[in-house]
Chain A
Amino acid sequence: MKLVKSLLLVTLALAAVGVQAKYNGEDRGRPVMPAEINAKMQAECSGCHMAFPPGLLPAASWKKVMTGLDKHFGTDASLSAADTKEITDYLVKYGSNRWTASTAPLRITESEWFKAKHLSGEISPAVWKRESVKSASNCMACHSGADKGDYNERNIHIPK
């Protein structure tokens, strides 16, 4: 009886670890795009690229991104203090609600969930280099509803 009990405990513990370890704790939120839309965030981010849904990264990542806007991936994307605060507050509020790791990557493409969903065996590295795609940050190239938080597999069209 004691053996059965301890076996059961071990199994439960492993199951718990298994659940927690999905994408090593680096999972995107659900939903990735909240119902509340922030017009300033939409306008400012999409000045240069798609306004990424906040749930793609944890709050800690957004804090880092928003404090380094003057050197944003090699580009000066600085904002006024007031706009920075409003957008940071929004992103932090709606950062991934399923991210359990203490990690905070700056790039969405560095997160475990992203890497697992875009394995090189499934998507050839050459696809990313196509002029129609150009960068892995260009979600809309394949996920046409990405700006609205729609990453459904049925709506993926990989361009030539």
Chain B
Amino acid sequence: MKFTFHTSALLACAALALPLVVSANPILDGYKAETKGTFSAAAGEKLYKTVGPNQLSCASCHTDSPKNAGKHAKTNKAIDPLAPSANAQRFTDAAKVEKWFKRNCNDALGRACTTQEKGDFMTYVLSVK
């Protein structure tokens, strides 16, 4: 009985503390755990603007700022903003994030992105307010 009381008290404390930790993104944390290094928003921004062998960059579809709504370079299809500050749905589903990194790194850079690059990219996009 005593044990149960302690457990629920601990859970209550954890729940209270939770909003303080929420600002970190679990997907970004996953990349961080993988590289054991640090990520740079400046490197992410550079990657965002890099024009690859297909004359495409992230900005080709997502515009100069990840805060803006974009447009598919080929099909004209509307693209919702990439920055979570403008679109809370972004970077909440790990499988979706991986799916689009695979596709778009191939299209824009002509190769796969490293975990370091994904972390830098996310750090940049998450920092755009």
Contacts of A80 in B (CB 8 A): 95, 99
The distance in angstroms between the C-alpha atoms of A70 and B105, with both chains bound, is 12
B75 within 8 A of A: yes
The number of residues on chain A lying at the interface, defined by a beta carbon within 8 Å of a beta carbon of chain B, is: 16
Contacts of A78 in B (CB 8 A): 99, 102-103
Instruction: Out of A74, A75, A135, name the residue touching B103 (CB < 8 Å).
Output: A75
A134 within 8 A of B: yes
A111-138, CB < 8 A from B: 134-135, 137-138
Contacts of B77 in A (CB 8 A): 46, 48-49
Q: Are B76 and A135 in contact (CB under 8 A)?
A: yes
The number of residues on chain B lying at the interface, defined by a beta carbon within 8 Å of a beta carbon of chain A, is: 13
Q: Are B103 and A77 in contact (CB under 8 A)?
A: yes
A36 within 8 A of B: no
A87: shortest Cβ distance to chain B, in Å?
A: 13
Total A-B residue contacts, Cβ distance less than 8 Å: 34
Chain B window 50-67, contacts with chain A (Cβ cutoff 8 Å), 1 for yes, 0 for no: 000010000000000000
Nearest opposing residue in chain A for B103, CB measure: A76
Nearest opposing residue in chain B for A137, CB measure: B75
Chain B window 30-70, contacts with chain A (Cβ cutoff 8 Å), 1 for yes, 0 for no: 00000000000000000000000010000000000000000
B106 within 8 A of A: yes
A15 within 8 A of B: no
Contacts of B104 in A (CB 8 A): 76
Nearest opposing residue in chain B for A70, CB measure: B106
The distance in angstroms between the C-alpha atoms of A77 and B72, with both chains bound, is 13
Q: Are B75 and A79 in contact (CB under 8 A)?
A: no
Residues of B within 8 A of A (CB): 54, 72, 74-77, 95, 99, 102-104, 106-107
Residues of A within 8 A of B (CB): 46, 48-49, 70, 73-80, 134-135, 137-138
Q: Please, could you name 27 A-B residue pairs with CB atoms under 8 Å apart, sorted by A?
A: A46-B77, A48-B72, A48-B77, A49-B72, A49-B75, A49-B77, A70-B106, A74-B54, A74-B74, A75-B74, A75-B103, A75-B107, A76-B102, A76-B103, A76-B104, A77-B103, A78-B99, A78-B102, A79-B99, A80-B99, A134-B76, A135-B74, A135-B75, A135-B76, A137-B75, A138-B75, A138-B76
The 9 closest A-B pairs by CB, nearest first: A76-B106, A76-B103, A49-B75, A134-B76, A76-B107, A75-B107, A49-B77, A48-B77, A48-B75
* Inter-chain pairs besides A49-B75, A75-B107, 9 sampled, C-beta below 8 Å: A48-B77, A49-B72, A73-B74, A74-B74, A75-B74, A76-B103, A76-B104, A78-B103, A80-B99
